[in-house]
Structure 1
Amino acid sequence: MTAGQSFPVQKNERIVLQISGINHSGEGVGRYRGLAVFVPGAAPGDQVVAEVSDVKKNYARARLLGIKTASPARREPECGRFSRCGGCRLQHINYGEQLMLKTILVKDSLARIAGLEKVKVRAAAGMEHPWHYRNKVHFQVEERPDKIALGFYEEGTHNLTAFFNEGACPGTGCLLVDDELNKLAALIEKLLNRHRGPFGRRILPQKRQSRFFRHIVLRKGFFTGEVMAVLVTGSGEWPGEKAFVKELLSLRPGLVSLVRNINDGPPGVLFGKKSRCLAGREHIKDRLGHLIFRISPSSFYQVNPVQTLVLYNKVQQYAALTGRETVVDAYSGIGSIALFLAGRAKRVYGLEALPDAVADARKNAALNKITNAEFLTGKVESLIPILAAQGQRPEVVVLDPPRHGCGREVLEAVVQMQVPRLVYVSCNPATLARDLRYFADNGYLVDEVQPVDMFPWTAHVECVVLMSRL
């Protein structure tokens, strides 16, 4: 903001707002004298009193001070930590309303970013029981003077909201996480405090102090019941390790995998390169539809197994395979979509840049006795032209990129192959809209979009899109 500019609101000004929607972060959105104002904790239909905390050229942010008139969609959050924890943003809004809002978010992104106002967008597919759905959880570990605590960081900070044995809802854990994993986390916190031992502080290259205990990652095979615990620590001896393992296994004898990962890297890095299996196997298995998947500590595997089946069944429906098609699964990860489609295709190629993920995909193919799937290591934009040069002309390409969407080279390579049918799986409506605009400008019809609510009570929404060549 420069001198002489006049804005509808000023920082610290108190205003009354009518909330009309939410943004992609789950914040309530209202307009004050034409300027969009984002208010965390506000629900569509609320009339609120808010204090402006930041003013930008095209929007402002404000703190919720009070609710003059509550929306019919407003509900009391189940979790007592809701206002502090950074895990979910929408517990104050009825679940049915959340699904409607997510559908609107997708439609708005397609219209505003891509100019695709007339595309058919189905209602978001939700869950019958939208609690305790996560089969994976990553807890931060905080070493306090008197104890070790597990929890999540508050949004945008490194302030830990502890989840066990203190504060609101003591001992209940996270309401989005599988209940067995919550109980295991509480037990691990208790045993870490019992067997923590004396540790010296470690100095990182950035001169920041590091904890010895850094993260606890828990995973569960939803359909197999197999459970994994990964303790991410600094290097060096842990005097209490053997006693910790012995007591944990005596209290939790069904634990399939217990791994210690060594990470002396910067704070933003979850896993280090070295791991040691403390008990059981280095992986667990889970069933997805008719397939078995091997899941290692760092494997990407969808965290909501119930909705993953909804998502993959929609991918299969849109692919419309008859057994004669060649399919390319771009950004194939551990091969879950490629293998899910292999039984209905002539040949499937999975393209993935991460060598460890490709190794897992090949193991999963062997585990399921699938012989018509081949997994290639490399960048998608490099591998697609190689397949074309080899005479491979896929009838279907599935794109499942990370949040930043497909690179321009990927979009160009797919268009050059003149693939008859495209299926795009997206976790970010904004980059999805950008990429769909490119396909629409280069010979493709966007037939239909199906939003899927993979993460209830958060603002995230996934989409499956069908496109056909004109």
Structure 2
Amino acid sequence: MKTPVQVGNTYTVKIIDLTYQGLGVAKINDFSVFVNNALPGETAIIKIDNVKKNFAFGSLVELKTKSPDRVEDVNQDYLQTGIAPLQHLSYEGQLRFKQHQIEELFDKQKIKVDVLPTMGMEHPDHYRNKALIPVKSINGELMTGFYKNHSHDLVPIEDFYIQQPEIDHAILVVRDILRKYKVTPYDERNHTGIIRNIMVRRGYYSHEMMIGLITRTKKLQLAEPIVNAIVDALPEVKSIVQNVNLKDNNVLLGKKNNVLYGKQYITDDLLGLKFAISLNSFYQVNPVQTEKLYSLAIDHADLGANDTVIDAYCGIGTISLAVAQHVKKVYGVEIIPQAIEDAKINAQKNHINNVSFVANKAEDQMAKWQAQGLKPDAIIVDPPRKGLASSFIDSAVEMQPKKLIYVSCNPSTLVRDTKRLMEKGYHISRPIQPVDQFPQTVHVESVTIFEQD
């Protein structure tokens, strides 16, 4: 079937919407065209770059009329690499876009919900407390930066805009030290070289810093002078860890860590508690918004002193330990054994004894707990982007908790799981609260409270 647009042709279009990836949507004879760096309400001349069966991708040639929400003077590197795909949209516009994203997905499934305005940040930049930056050889020189969208072309970047400035500085310091000691960057085509990525974590409150050197080799040559140089140049560094990743694939971290300096973890505060964070730990990257997100989840759960709570996908115990102060007992489950080790350390650090952590798949552990007759008053879930397994929902519902508190990082799987929970006798009991954990990007977190019918 012939499409109404051809590659290389230009068209004048009206942008009518934004996709969940932040692309502008235009219609040409009812055929959808997705355009980078275009905003709803704008009229634009676009060029067609790629045509699929039911849609096409276009690029902006010229803007005829501009949206009042457009931000001028954006950095094209941030758009090209996906570091900040919404930086051309005003922050108020970003917050509305994220609220609308959730509303629209529920609307499509004909589920009636109220979605509150997105809870934003006062300073929506330089917020990330963690960076994992690729290293590549460009013209024979070791470079750090970020990959162009859908490619393996590295764009050299020194200011990443959404990371803490101290982290950006640390990446450049480590880059220059690796250059000085002639450490060769990983070459993915030939599977040669040594250094694959540089990772930096930094405590928002503690200012403790961890440097991770991800290598293709078991040994890091000249490790001692490299470590000494990093420690001399960066006084905040409390831990340097070599992560060994021998695999010839896109997995970013290997399973083996060698501590080259200091401790195997750094510490930071969250909701008045102390947390140990190791290289591989899942720890929310925006601590300012995380405190808002978790406080909301706990407040809306309306828990009592005699309640028993399950925290599924508990990570290093952030929600579990915050909840434990309000209830009788908390059970946490997480698939990553290292995270559970960290969670146990964190319970000890905070002198919290009414928590029990186990390493397992959340859905498998839920079935175990259900078989053992565990009857939680509330279940808190903070799943990965793929949402809840149907077997998890089956076990959760069998336990008959009065409430299920769903912290979501993906509105589409939230909507899917809402349908399943509604079919099993639960309803959304209060408006959904979106929280902007990732300003300048398309991602949105939210808190939804389910109660038994």
Please indicate the TM-score interval, normalised by the length of the shorter structure. Answer: over 0.9
**1:274 lines up with 2:260 in the alignment:** no
Which residue of the partner structure matches residue 210 of structure 2? 228
Structure 1 counterpart of 2:439: 456
Question: Of the candidates 60, 77, 80, which is equivalent to residue 64 of structure 1?
Answer: 60
Q: Deviations over 1:100-155 (max 9, x none)?
A: 0111011111111x321x20111111000011000001110002343110111111
Query: Does residue 7 of structure 2 align to residue 40 of structure 1?
Result: no
Partner Cα distance (1:100, 1:414) in 2? 33
| 8 A Cα contact 1:75 1:91, kept in partner | yes
Matching of residues 404-423 of structure 1 within 5 Å: 404-423=386-405
Match of 1:305 among 277, 287, 290: 287
The 5 A counterparts of 1:62-101 are 62-79=58-75, 81-101=77-97
2:174 pairs with 1:188: yes
- CA offset at residue 289 of structure 1? 1.0
Is 2:331 the counterpart of 1:335?
no
Q: Which residue of 2 aligns with 1:178?
A: 164
The CA distance in 1 between the partners of 2:414 and 2:73, in whole Å, is 31
The answer to whether the 8 Å contact 1:77/1:91 transfers is no
CA distance in 2, matches of 1:200, 1:226: 27
Kindly provide the CA deviation profile for residues 25-66 of structure 1, in whole angstroms up to 9, marking residues without a partner as x.
111112222222211111122111112223334432212222
Contact 1:29 1:37 in 2 (8 A): yes
Determine the structure 2 residue equivalent to 1:247.
229
| Deviates most, 48-57 or 362-371 | 48-57
1:48·1:69 contact (CA, 8 Å) conserved in 2? yes
| Residue among 108, 111, 115 paired with 2:110 | 115
- RMSD of aligned Cα (Å): 1.8
- Tell me if structure 1 keeps the 8 A contact 2:385–2:409: yes
Count of aligned pairs between the two proteins: 452
Structure 2: distance between partners of 1:275 and 1:394: 37
CA apart distance, 1:200: 10
Deviation at 1:243, TM superposition (A): 2.1
Match of residue 370 from structure 1? 352
SS of equivalent to 2:199: strand
Instruction: Report if aligned partners of 2:135, 2:186 keep a CA contact under 8 Å in 1.
Output: no
Which residue, out of 400, 418, 426, partners 1:444?
Answer: 426
Q: What letter matches 2:443 in structure 1? A: H
Aligned to 2:51: 55
Indicate the residue corresponding to 2:141 in structure 1.
147
**CA-to-partner distance for each residue in 1:357-383, whole Å, 9 max, x for gaps?**
211111111111111111122222222
Alignment partner of 1:348 out of 319, 326, 330 = 330
What is the CA distance between 1:336 and its match in structure 2? 1.0
Name the CA distance, whole Å, in 2 between partners of 1:83 and 1:435: 32
**Take 2:63 and 2:291, find their aligned partners in 1: how far apart are those partners?**
39
Identify if the C-alpha distance between structure 1 residues 200 and 42 changes in structure 2 by more than 3 Å, giving closer, same or farther.
closer
Q: Return closer, same or farther for 1:355/1:83 CA change in 2, 3 Å cut-off.
A: closer
| Alignment correspondent of 1:131 | 125
* Residues 9, 186 of structure 1: alpha-carbon distance in 2 compared, 3 angstrom cutoff: same
Amino acid at match of 2:447: V
Deviations 1:399-434 (A, max 9, x none): 111111111111111122222111111111111111
Amino acid at match of 1:456: P
Q: 1:11 Cα shift?
A: 3.2
Q: Would the aligned equivalents of 1:143 and 1:213 in 2 still touch at CA under 8 Å?
A: no
* TM-score, normalization by structure 2: 0.95
Q: Distance in 2 between matches of 1:414 and 1:56?
A: 41
Sort the Cα spacing of 1:201 and 1:352 in 2 relative to 1 into closer, same or farther, 3 A. Answer: closer
1:28 equivalenced with 2:24 (yes/no): yes
CA separation in 1, counterparts of 2:8 and 2:137? 36
Q: Tell me the equivalent position of 2:277.
A: 295
* Secondary structure of residue in 2 paired with 1:84: helix
Contact 1:195 1:241 in 2 (8 A): no
Instruction: Work out whether residues 404 and 449 of structure 2, in 8 Å CA contact, stay in contact via their aligned partners in 1.
Output: yes
The one-letter code sitting in structure 1 at the alignment partner of 2:295 is N
CA 1:78–1:201: 2 relative to 1, 3 Å? closer
CA deviations 1:75-111 (Å, max 9, x no partner) are: 1244352343221201111010110011101111111
SS state at 1:184 partner: helix
SS at match of 1:82: helix
Q: 1:208 and 1:435, CA in 2 relative to 1: closer, same or farther beyond 3 A?
A: farther
Task: Give me the whole-angstrom Cα distance separating, in 1, the residues matched to 2:185 and 2:304.
Answer: 62
1:212·1:233 contact (CA, 8 Å) conserved in 2?
A: yes
Cα distance in 1 for partners of 2:366, 2:220 equals: 48
Map 1:388-399; keep pairs closer than 5 Å.
388-399=370-381
Name the residue aligned to 1:169. Answer: none
Contact 2:367 2:392 in 1 (8 A): no
1:153 partner amino acid: Y
In structure 2, the residue corresponding to 1:423 is in which secondary structure? strand
Q: Which amino acid letter does the alignment assign opposite residue 162 of structure 1? A: P
Which of 314, 317, 329 in structure 1 is aligned with 2:296?
314
Deviates more, 1:293-302 or 1:103-112: 103-112
Gaps of 5+ in 1: 165-172
Gap runs ≥5 in structure 2? none
- Cα pair 1:451 1:464 within 8 Å, conserved: yes
2:38 aligned partner, one-letter code: A
Matched letter for residue 421 of structure 1: K
Q: Is the CA contact (8 Å cut-off) linking 2:331 and 2:355 kept in structure 1? A: yes
Q: TM-score, normalised by structure 1?
A: 0.92
